Amino acid sequence: EDTLAMLRKEREYRNFLICEVPNEDFAQTILRQFFFDVFHYLQYEALKSSSDETLVAIAEKSIKEVAYHVRYSGEWVIRLGDGTDISHEKMKSALEFLWPFTGELFESDELDAWAVEKEIGFDPAALKKGWTEKVNAVFDQAGLQLPEKAWMQSGGKKGYHTEYMGYILSELQMMQRTYPGLEW
């Protein structure tokens, strides 16, 4: 497990690029978390229909916790979006920065296609409608609007990352690379 987590090279990681964005601004951090929480919730909802009993059990056990995260981050989006002029502007700025990272959440790759074929997983594109509805419901209360169109970032699921990934891996892998073979 340590080798898998601590010694892979950057291109061997597969993740959504939105998860690499640093926590430098509270509005940005909250909005990023909300976008991912809504996706994560819908992901577990979809996995409850999996043919894999282990995935179904994990989804059923996790859904309550993930629902709490959606509610918590959503409430912060509302507080900041419908708060002061400054907090509203910060949320609009965070939205402008983060929106291009959201399209990747709904992209399918070979692994997704295989999982759908085996009835183990789901097609991420099928989650987009529910995600958009939930995000819009919170944004209506926050006085925010989703952008009409935007160019979307992509590549994290293929091993292409933002410049932030190098910093994340430096911190994550520092001990294992400094002291090879270190046991915890």
pLDDT at 184: 66
Cβ atoms of 19 and 106 closer than 8 Å = no
pTM: 0.90
Query: In sequence order, what are the residues at sequence separation of 6 or more whose Cβ sits closer than 8 angstroms to the Cβ of residue 63?
Result: 41, 44, 45, 48
Cβ atoms of 4 and 147 closer than 8 Å = no
Radius of gyration of the chain (CA): 18
pLDDT tens digits for range 46-102: 999 999 999 999 999 999 999 999 999 999 999 999 999 999 999 999 999 999 999
